[in-house]
Structure 1
């Protein structure tokens, strides 16, 4: 992913108002992000623990979506698998995140959801740059490049559902 700045991020959101995008909390260290290793920039809102954001480059256009964490928390004995990167985590390491759909559908309160790594570090897990706490990556016959392509495809399919 190419590096993006604050203005690009705030202008990229497709499922929230311009006012909401202006008020959201950005990650503290945009300049220090490992851009070459990211398929998307994802972060949790430090001021609102139930909110997260995801920004990616989609066909040369920066697209951002606001996400909400579902209220239901998993027990610490359960394991979950991320639907994007297929990393497994114990307890609350995988969360259901919902996104209001873009346009009229979103104004009509329609949303879509995905089970995703709660820390939104999917890109780093796939590349082996971050190791999940007590979780892991399944042994796969796919190469890392194929796993990256699969993660990007899963992300694209999720974004398609939001932007319809």
Structure 2
């Protein structure tokens, strides 16, 4: 992912109103991040803990989405739909995001299960011990990264382009 500025992040959001976009609280540590190890940038605002914000690169441009966490916890221990991490090193919660444009204003939304702190990029880059002799752990990690990128891209495109 390419490095983002606060201004670029703020202007990238496609499923929020102008008032919501202007009131976004963007983390101050953008300059300290290693953008080369991120497939998207996500954060939570401590003042509004049920909201999540994600920015990803789609077609060479930054696209931002606001997500809302479900009030109720899931009954089982779910798996993240993006990183598909089976070791579950962190909490996974249900998020819903309004579609962009007219569909979103009409109340259309899409839901998905995601790592609660948006740890997917870290999860897929973990080099797990090989399950059997001859297993290529580095190739498996590369496949997990590619799968994460495909899942993020598909979700963003669905919200941006879907009806």
Is residue 108 of structure 1 aligned with residue 106 of structure 2?
A: yes
Q: Give TM-score scaled by structure 1 length.
A: 0.86
Is residue 153 of structure 1 aligned with residue 145 of structure 2?
A: no
Point out the more displaced range, 18-27 or 99-108. 18-27
Q: Is the 8 A contact 1:25 1:47 kept in 2?
A: no
CA RMSD, 1 decimal = 2.2
Q: How far off is 1:66 after superposition?
A: 0.4
CA distance in 1, matches of 2:2, 2:22: 21
**Deviation per residue, 1:112-161 (Å, 9 max, x gap):** 011010010101110018xxxxxx9xx69762111111111111111122
Q: Is the 8 A contact 2:51 2:66 kept in 1?
A: yes
The aligned runs of 1:1-150 (5 Å cut-off) are 1-74=1-74, 78-88=76-86, 89=88, 93-128=91-126, 143-150=140-147
CA distance in 2, matches of 1:28, 1:128: 26
CA distance in 2, matches of 1:60, 1:155: 14
**Deviation per residue, 1:58-90 (Å, 9 max, x gap):** 111110000000111136xx4221000012437
Aligned residue for 1:79, secondary structure, equals: coil
Q: Give TM-score scaled by structure 2 length.
A: 0.86
Q: Which runs of 5+ in 2 are unaligned?
A: none
Higher Rg: 2
Q: How far off is 1:28 after superposition?
A: 3.0
Aligned length: 154
